[in-house]
Amino acid sequence: MPQAFPPHTVVSMPALSPTMTAGNIGAWQKKAGDKLSPGDVLVEIETDKAQMDFEFQEEGVLAKILKESGEKDVAVGSVRVPLIDDDIALIDIFSLSL
């Protein structure tokens, strides 16, 4: 039976260019439990052409990092982190099975 997760937003690997299909995870600027505000830098993303900061555009709490710094060839659209409203007690229930 699939695990039920609390209400959350999924943050996926963005396409930073029209031809980007995968990227590398650079340094995370936030950690699980951190509050996020619009404009906060969440993570550095590396492509074959550039390294860019990924700025988050919503408010919430970073529930868990599912792709660690240094991971290579992370597909565009794959889940990187779940974001919850504000109940950090729910952080530990998230896993890669999202």
pLDDT score recorded for residue 58: 85
CA distance 46 to 53: 9
Q: Give me the residues paired with residue 51 across strands.
A: 46
pLDDT tens digits for range 69-98: 999 999 999 877 777 666 554 445 544 444
Residue 98, pLDDT score: 44
Distances (CA, A) of 57 to 33, 43, 65, 79, 89: 17, 13, 17, 17, 23
71 is written with which tokens?
């991971």
Please give the pLDDT value at position 11. 84
Q: What confidence tens digit (pLDDT) does each residue in 4-53 have?
A: 666 777 888 888 888 899 999 999 999 988 998 999 999 999 988 889 99
Do residues 13 and 76 make contact, with C-beta atoms less than 8 angstroms apart? yes
Q: Is the pLDDT of residue 1 over 50?
A: no
Q: What is the pTM of this model?
A: 0.76
